Amino acid sequence: MVFPVVGGTQDTGYEISNSLRFNGGGDAEDVYLTRDYGSAGNQVTWTFSCWVKRTTLGEERPIFAAQAEADLSSGDPQFAIFFHSTDQLRVWTNAGNAGIYTNRVFRDVGAWYHIHLKGSDSNPYFNLYINGVEETSFATDNRASYPGGNNTYNNSANPHFVGAWRNGSIMSLGMYLANVAIVDGTAYNPTEFGETNDNGVWIPKKPDVTWGTNGCFLEFKQTGTSADASGMGADTSGEGNHMSVVGLTATDVTVDSPTNNWCTLNPLTNSEATFSEGNTEIDHNGSAGRFTVSTFEVNQGKWYFEAKLLDYDSDSRPTIGLSQSHKSFGSTLVAASQATNGVYFLPESDTYQSNSETATTNIDTSPTTDDIYHFAFDLDNLKFYIGKGGTWYHSSDPSSNSNGLAIAVSDYYGVSTGANNTSSDSAANNDWQFNFGNPPFSISSGNADAKGYGNFEYAVPSGFYSLCTKNLAEYG
The secondary structure of 67-131 as a DSSP string is --GGGSSS---SEEEEE-TTSEEEEEETGGGEEEEEEEE---TTS-EEEEEEE-SSTT-EEEEET
List of residues 6+ apart from 446 with CB closer than 8 A: 455, 456
- Expressed in percent and rounded to 5, the helix, strand and coil fractions of the chain are 10, 40, 50
**pLDDT given for residue 27 in this prediction:** 46
Between CA 430 and CA 311 the distance in angstroms is: 5
132 near 115, Cβ under 8 Å? Answer: no
Q: Where are the domains of the chain?
A: 19-254, 267-475
**pLDDT at residue 278, as a whole number:** 94
User: In this structure, which long-range contacts are made by residues 397-403, counting pairs with CB atoms below 8 Å and at least 24 apart in sequence?
Assistant: 397/461, 398/302, 398/304, 398/461, 398/463, 398/464, 399/461, 399/462, 399/463, 399/464
- Fold for 267-475, please state it: Jelly Rolls (2.60.120)
Q: Which residues contact 166 (CB under 8 A, 6 or more apart)?
A: 67, 71, 72, 73, 159
Where are the extended beta strands (E) located within 255-378? Answer: 274-276, 281-284, 291-293, 302-311, 316-323, 342-346, 351-354, 357-360, 372-378
Distance CA 215, CA 180 (A): 11
pTM above 0.85, yes or no: yes
CA distance 297 to 322: 10
Q: pLDDT tens per residue, the chain (476 residues)?
A: 333 444 444 455 799 999 999 985 444 468 899 999 989 999 999 999 999 999 999 988 999 999 877 667 666 778 999 999 999 999 999 888 899 999 999 999 999 999 999 999 989 999 999 999 999 999 999 999 998 887 788 999 999 999 988 765 677 788 999 999 999 999 999 999 999 999 999 999 999 999 999 999 999 999 999 999 999 999 999 999 999 999 999 999 999 999 999 999 999 988 888 899 999 999 877 655 567 889 999 999 999 999 998 877 665 566 787 877 554 433 333 333 343 445 666 554 445 555 544 554 545 556 788 989 999 999 999 888 888 899 998 789 999 999 888 787 777 888 988 765 544 444 456 788 999 999 999 999 999 999 999 999 999 999 999 999 999 999 98
The predicted structure's pLDDT at residue 317: 61
Domains 19-254 and 267-475 share a fold: yes
CATH class label, 19-254:
mainly beta
